[in-house]
Amino acid sequence: MRVFVTGASGWIGSAVVPSLLEAGHQVVGLARSAQSAEALQQAGAEAHHGGLDDLDSLRAGASGADAVVHLAFKHDFTDYAGAGLTERAAVTTLCDALTGSDRPFLFASGVGLLTPGRVATEADPSLGRGPEAPRGGAEQLAFEYTARGVRPVALRFAPTVHGDGDHGFVATLVRIARERGVSAYIGDGANRWPAVHRFDAAALVRLALDAPAGTVVHAVDEEGVPTRDIAAAIGRGLDLPVAGDATPDDFAWLGRFFAADIPASSTLTRSLLDWKPTHPGLLDDLAAGHYFR
């Protein structure tokens, strides 16, 4: 299968590409720069030049593919509404190119803030339909194309996709602890974060190519790791004291997320796709030391 991947050189995408190649697929990755194109070619993929704002490039990439895996997103928390509009335009363009073909359209979504305070499942609807919703309401938008001969599949990733080289939420928590001289958690730290190893997430994406139209899968290995346990692991890794009763403001833009209780299940996903995560959990990954180099 010829698979067009956006975000192919990103944190998750750069693990998805080799996973697809190892399964015998031909991969074409969207590349914004010469550096990204070179990395894709070295991995054994074909580079397709363009970006999320280049709708003609997106259309061409999707039109020439047997499946699309859309992982790119503008993670700009200073203009999240603008990022949502960009996402809607990209999803519309990619799905229009696939209309009437029954080709798979896998797209990144998330479990964060889906059902705060209780375990989110694949049966829970996404948050909102319009441009102001998370990721521009792209999940509902994509599912509307089921009736138009597209096979959309939502890839809801845990907020913590961890591993060696991570520069996301956990790496940010490590940086903040270094700067403040203390590894802190908010309140009593009982609130939970779901997590998945990057390589397990990549394996799930590969399996989801065969999922039926309208499927939601949860890339979640650990249902919810208490944030006080995350803080304690960071404290050990940095040899810093650990303290509770911090406030969201102590974590800048990340505070809203680190304060949330957002556990999520992947029971339905594991049953449907026979997905079996095999890589270390978050606390073991922190204990390995690479976050503290």
User: Which residue in 87, 21, 32, 84 sits closest to 57, CA to CA?
Assistant: 32
The per-residue pLDDT for 152 is: 98
What does the buried/exposed string (b/e) look like for 39-63 if buried means 16 or more CB atoms within 10 Å of the residue's CB? bbeebebebbebbbebbebbeebbe
pLDDT classification of 136: cutoffs 50, 70, 90: low
- In sequence order, the β-bridge partners of residue 110 are 157
Domain 167-193+222-292: assigned CATH number: 3.90.25.10
pLDDT classification of 179: cutoffs 50, 70, 90: very high
Q: What angle do CA 137, 138, 139 make, to 5 degrees?
A: 95
The answer to whether residues 65 and 4 touch, using CB atoms and an 8 Å cutoff, is: yes
Is the pLDDT at 108 greater than 80? The verdict is yes
Is the pLDDT at 38 greater than 90? The verdict is yes
Give me the DSSP letters along the chain. Answer: -EEEEETTTSTTHHHHHHHHHHTT-EEEEEESSHHHHHHHHHHTPEEEE--TT-HHHHHHHHHT-SEEEE------TTSHHHHHHHHHHHHHHHHHHHTTTTEEEEEEEE-TTSSTTS-B-TTSPPS-SSTTSGGGGHHHHHHGGGGGTEEEEEEEE-SEEESTT--SHHHHHHHHHHHHTSEEEETTS--EEEEEEHHHHHHHHHHHTTPPTTEEEEE-SEEEEEHHHHHHHHHHHHT--EEEEE-GGGGGGGHHHHT----B--HHHHHHH-----S--HHHHHHTSGGG-
The per-residue pLDDT for 80 is: 73
- Residue 156 tokens read as 């809801």
pLDDT classification of 129: cutoffs 50, 70, 90: confident
The per-residue pLDDT for 45 is: 98
Percent of the chain with pLDDT over 90: 90
| Tens digits of residue pLDDT in 209-261 | 999 999 999 999 999 999 999 999 999 999 999 999 899 999 998 999 999 99
pTM, 2 dp = 0.95
The per-residue pLDDT for 84 is: 85
> Please, which residues have CB within 8 angstroms of residue 231's CB and are 6 or more apart in sequence?
173, 177, 183, 184, 185, 189, 242, 244
The mean per-residue pLDDT over the stretch 184-199 comes to: 97
| Tens digits of residue pLDDT in 15-33 | 999 999 999 999 999 999 9
Is the pLDDT at 77 greater than 70? The verdict is no
Instruction: List, by residue range, all CATH 3.90.25.10 domains of the chain.
Output: 167-193+222-292
Is the pLDDT at 40 greater than 90? The verdict is yes
In the CATH scheme, what architecture does the domain 2-160+196-219 have?
3-Layer(aba) Sandwich (3.40)
The per-residue pLDDT for 75 is: 76
Is the pLDDT at 83 greater than 90? The verdict is no
Task: State the pairing for strand pair 222-226/192-197.
Answer: antiparallel
The answer to whether residues 125 and 133 touch, using CB atoms and an 8 Å cutoff, is: no
Instruction: List, by residue range, all CATH 3.40.50.720 domains of the chain.
Output: 2-160+196-219
Q: Within 10 Å of residue 78's Cβ, how many Cβ atoms?
A: 7
